[in-house]
Structure 1
């Protein structure tokens, strides 16, 4: 059974680039609003803040200029509702590395951090992932 995160965000947790390994906190995934990607949501296993990441699908054969050539990005499928496509998407999402995006500027955060990325510095891989809003 997945561990439940505490009810409150630890705003005082100092920034630290920390790999916390495989989290047992529950995360969910769903199609993005435009259907061109998926959204993974849950709580950071370090600061317990709510975090969200959208992963865009790429269309095979159209090139990836300007987009990271990450082999684990989801491919746009002709039938995203198919159970086999959902299972493949979930497998890809479980292999992906996630970073805290809680939105809080934790104490001692480096000033040269990436613009728009605010969090405690934790990274992790998912131990469990539940699909929500399946068609």
Structure 2
């Protein structure tokens, strides 16, 4: 875990409105990384008669709360064979989020 990443990351929604993409530079290996998140954030709904009535988080606030992983696409040494991504394995939170373009 590299902790909070000070470098800027950009985000944009896909043209079909179904995916949110985060792009930036991995703070460990300095490779370009992109993560794609499908809309429909788990844990934001309500259940039952007296469910919480809190508004769902904005895409931006969800990205700032999420822990992100390097997806630079280059297999690095000692990467476990069962990880769902290819990268150096670093994880971080985003602190500098900017609007981007697809």
Fold similarity call, TM over 0.5: yes
State the TM-score, normalized to the length of structure 2. 0.77
Q: Which runs of 4+ in 1 moved over 4 A?
A: none
The 5-angstrom pairing of residues 80-95 of structure 1 reads 88-95=58-65
Which is richer in strand? 2
| Structure 2 segments unaligned to the other structure (5+ residues) | 45-55
The alpha-carbon deviation at position 32 of structure 1 amounts to 1.5
2:26 matches 1:56? no
SS at match of 2:11: strand
Distance in 2 (alpha carbons) for counterparts of 1:114 and 1:21 = 20
TM-score by length of structure 1 reads 0.60
The match for 1:42 among 1, 6, 24 is: 24
Which runs of 5 or more residues in structure 1 are unaligned? 1-18, 59-68, 73-84
Aligned residues: 91
